Structure 1
Amino acid sequence: MKTMTCSSLGGPCELEHRAETADDIIKAQDKHLREAVKAGDGSHAAAREAMKGRWMHPKKSLDWYNGVKRAYAELPVN
């Protein structure tokens, strides 16, 4: 299990996401952004829009995705 924060994934806060894979970390960030914006947290709106764009245009977002995968792979297991 490894940990990445909202901010390390492009968001505005330090909420920690813990998961077994980079893909699960990305899914946790997507859920966090959706819930934060739905709850009225405007500070997460820009990151949410960027995430929505990545889901809708995955080929354009491959650099971001591969960067997250590399960063996750380099993290120590905790």
Structure 2
Amino acid sequence: MKTMTCKQLGGACDLAFTAETFEDLVSQSKMHGMQMFQQQDAQHMEAMAKVQMLMMNPQAMQQFMDSKRAEFDALPAD
């Protein structure tokens, strides 16, 4: 298992996500993001806006995801 925080994944808080795979970690992060969106949490809304800007450029978004995956891969297992 490996752990990354919301902030490490481009979010706004220190909530930790733990998973065996990067894909599972991203899934947990997305669920958290949806909860924060429903609550209209200002800090998370700002972070989501930045990610949405990346999504407009598929190459930039791929680079972002690749860098986060590399960060995940480099983590020691818990």
| TM-score (norm: length of structure 2) | 0.82
Identity fraction in percent: 29
Q: CA deviation at 1:46?
A: 2.1
The range that moved more, 35-44 or 11-20, is 35-44
Distance 1:19 1:26, change over 3 A: same
Q: CA deviation at 1:31?
A: 1.2
| TM-score (norm: length of structure 1) | 0.82
Distance 1:39 1:27, change over 3 A: same
Counterpart residue number, 2:27: 27
2:42 corresponds to 1:42: yes
Distance 1:5 1:47, change over 3 A: same
Does the 8 Å contact 1:34/1:48 carry over to 2? no
Q: Report the aligned-residue RMSD.
A: 1.8
Distance in 1, Cα, partners of 2:49 & 2:26: 14
Gaps of 5+ in 1: none
Aligned residues: 78
